[in-house]
Amino acid sequence: MLFAGANYHPHDWPSERWRQDISLMKEASFNLVRLGHLCWDSFEPSEGYFTFEWFDEVMQLFDEADIKVVLDIATRPAPTWLHKKYPEIDITDRNGIRLQAHSRYMEDTGHPVFREYAYRFAEKLICRYRNHPTLLAFGLCNELGSGMPSYSNSVKERFVSWLKNKYGTVEHLNQAWSTQRWSRKLNSFHDVVLPVSGNVQGAPERMLDLWRFHSDETLDYMLGLSQIVKRLAPNVRESTNHWSENPHFGFDYLKRYREIVDIPGIGFYPGTNPEDQKALIGACFIMDHRIGELDKPIWCLEFQTGDFGGYGSPRKAMRMYAYLSLLYGSQAVCAWTWRSMLGGEEQYLFGLVDHDGTPGWKYTEFKQIAEEFKLLQNYALPRKPNPHIALAYSFESLKVMNGNSGFYKTGYMEQVLQAYEAIMRDNLDCNVVNLRGIHSNYKLLVIPGHAIMDEDSAAVVRTFVENGGTVVMTAYSAKVDANNRVFDSPMPGELSDVFGIRVGAFNRTWSHTPAENAGGVEKTEMNIEREKPSLVFDGNVFKPEITYYEIIEPITATVTAYFSNTFEESPAVTQNRYGSGEAIYIAIPADAAFLRAVLTSLYPSLGINLGPVTPTGVFARHLEDGTALYVNTTNKERTIKLDSPANSVLSNYRFEDTLTLGAYEAEFIYRGN
């Protein structure tokens, strides 16, 4: 079953408009709507006074239209009355100033008072609608992981409790935090302060633990909502469009997702400019990150229709995005939003229907999506791939590298997306995995810029290679231990013997000017390109745009590529036999073109078959039932060679030896007559 529909906010519009909107959705063949988000106070306008009657009518209207509902449990933002009664749930900024709750996501979700009221509201909502015939699933709130951290006294007290639970004694905490530095030893847990004060940020060890604490609180809150659904509505599905990858907050989704998530969810926002391939690739990566190793379809609970001040993508691009999402396991696309926003924080965010309620061309295009999805119901969709490749992702590495940009000058997400692109360009599937515990069997494990290497992660890598797997790891990896302290042992830390190398020195290809005013002398950024390394691999020369490369000292490893055009020749790629498998190290940060060359050289011996051969910007998959889906993400016509004649599922057209796709076109084909 495939779903196509929209996010709808009935509390924004007069009740007389509801029937008209639902009629338009029905005419567009929509079979799904997402409701209820961002409007707690429309259900509970004052403490303990619930007004569900208006929403009962909304649910009844959608039931009559045979449109299923994903009902969000709208615990964020918290109502004004709750902030006024309990100001301690407000966010406190880095300067210790309590912020007034005038915008969304300005509540401390870890505060016990907030949780008490939020969970009580969740129970009321779930019990009211758990048996409603049109209910498809509950949503676990909206965009958890977005917003901002709080630095209140309550947060500090909870942080101290978290530290006590983790470290047990202050002596262990002192050791983990390297408190002998700068005369900052702690005599008791009472001495702990939050490592953020105004513009001053604390030491790396402390900051990592603070992010872990915020993450654990978010995960715990999310788990609480999930458990309420499971307890009160055990036969109802659940999903969520959380934002664990948020660079300003976020959380360690892969740490506990297997016990929280039923149906993975996402806000699918590749942007209104498909030419921005980085954003497009990033949106696909986030889909795979949310699925993880669940082997389940994903729901695009929000799906890009417009933007702030941008009416929409180019014509046909919205449909292209819908088919691209199908390639990456989607079962549902739910437009954000139905009607363009008139006010609030998202004023001038454009939906399928214009500000005056009149459908435009985007409504027609989404209608086409919904109607075509109906044609695909009997095919092997949603996709459930069985990848041979795992790509490691680390929330902790994201925070470690963001917190020390003086050393890690190539951002973590940049490296992850480069590695993902290297796999994506060959139309191959991968699972995004938590390196601390892998649950499926893979032939290849790719680890890009995984700065932190704790003992559990290192043990997983070691066992993976010992048992016959092949691992590829890139520069900047395994630099710090579980406490964010630089290893005092050979690098890559905990894994030097597995890779058969020692990594110590490194070179900056451009002049390096630190931000610190060392010695009281102002330094000038010179912007001098000192080296432009070339790498010769497999008979091909690569010149990646890098600012950093490492000096590898082989111990037991074999050198398979060297740098040239550098001050001294040094290994660029090494390969080491360990146990029954192999460990490959690349001395540069993840670069899509070069990493793709390394990976494709490994596929034949690993028994990994490439996906369909397509021009750059065209992505495709063969499905289990013999059908195939091709998506042209570019604004140019593209032609693909076919190995046999094929027919379009979406039209009566027959392709002989080639398939031509216009700009932003997609085609679903089957072989034979």
In this structure, the strands spanning 389-392 and 444-447 are parallel
pLDDT at 673: 66
The residue among 340, 336, 261, 268 whose CA lies nearest residue 300 is 268
Q: 3-class DSSP state for residue 374?
A: helix
Q: How far is CA 146 from CA 142, 149, 247, 252, 301, in A?
A: 9, 9, 9, 13, 16
Mean pLDDT of the chain: 96
Rounded CA gap, 326 and 322, in Å? 7
What's the confidence (pLDDT) of residue 388? 98
Q: Indicate whether 481 pLDDT > 70.
A: yes
pLDDT in tens, 226-238: 999 999 999 999 9
pLDDT band at 523 (very low <50, low <70, confident <90, very high): confident
Q: Which residue in this structure is represented by tokens 């994201």?
A: 398
pTM for the full model? Answer: 0.97
The answer to whether residues 549 and 562 touch, using CB atoms and an 8 Å cutoff, is: no
- Overall residue count recorded for the chain in this entry: 673
Domains of the chain, start order: 31-262 (3.20.20.80), 389-515+522-606 (3.40.50.880), 618-671 (2.60.40.1180)
pLDDT band for position 633 (cuts 50, 70, 90): very high
Question: Residues 423, 391: contact at Cβ < 8 Å?
Answer: yes
Residue range 658-670: mean pLDDT, rounded: 97
Q: Rounded CA gap, 285 and 446, in Å?
A: 14
Three-state SS at 235:
coil
- Tens of pLDDT along 532-589? 999 999 999 999 999 999 999 999 999 999 999 898 899 999 999 999 999 999 999 9
